[in-house]
Structure 1
Amino acid sequence: MEFCPSCANLLQYEMSNPARFFCRTCPYVSAIEPKVKIKRSVQLAHKEATPIAVGQKNVGPTTEAPCPKCHHGKASFYQMQTRSADEPMTIFYTCLNESCGHKWKED
C-alpha cells in the first residue's frame, strides 16, 4: 500500500505504460520503476532461544491474602476478565509459601 505524501489518502494503481500510482483527491502522480527486483526465496538462519530470566521466579504483584490451605499471609495475584464486560474481573492468587504454592481464585 502506498499513501499520498500530500493528502495522506490511499494511492490507486493504474496499469498504463508506464504503470503509476495516482491520488483521487489531489493531482499527485508517481511513476513505478519497471526494474524492481523481487526476492522470492529467503534463507532463514536457525537461532537458539535465549532464556529471559534465569534463577529467579517471576512473582508479580503481591498482597496480604491468607492462603486457604496453609494460612500463609502473602500471595501473588493477577486479574483477568473471565465473564462478560459488565461483571467484575476474577482475581487469581498463588500462595508465596514455597512449600505450599496453592492457587485459588476470587470471583
Structure 2
Amino acid sequence: MELPQSRFQSRLEFCPECGSVLPRPGPPSSIRCPRCSFGLQCSDFEGRTVRSSLEFNALEAGAGRGGGGAAPQEGPTVDRRCPRCGHEGMWFHTRQMRSADEGQTVFYTCPRCR
C-alpha cells in the first residue's frame, strides 16, 4: 500500500503534512497527528525499517565538569596571600563548574608553592 500524497517528504516519525512528531499507534492500529489530524494505518508501515543513530563528539582535554586539565602555570595576578607560604600575590583562573546560571569558580595558584 502506498502512503497518502503529502506536502513534503519526511521520516516516518514525523507527520508528512505539518512536520509534527507522530504519536505511537492507538488502539485501532492507526496513527493520527495531534496537530493537523492527518491519519495513517499501521499497516502502511509494514516492511519499512526505521534506523537511528547517536554520535557523540570527543571531549576536549579539560572540558566538562571540573575534569582534567592542570592549572595554568602563569596568569593574571591578584593581591592575595598564600595560606601555605605567606607569599603575597597569587595567579588565578576561572572555570564554569556547574550550570550556566551559577557563577564561575575561581582557582588560585601560588607562584612559589604551585
TM-score (norm 1): 0.42
TM-score (norm 2): 0.40
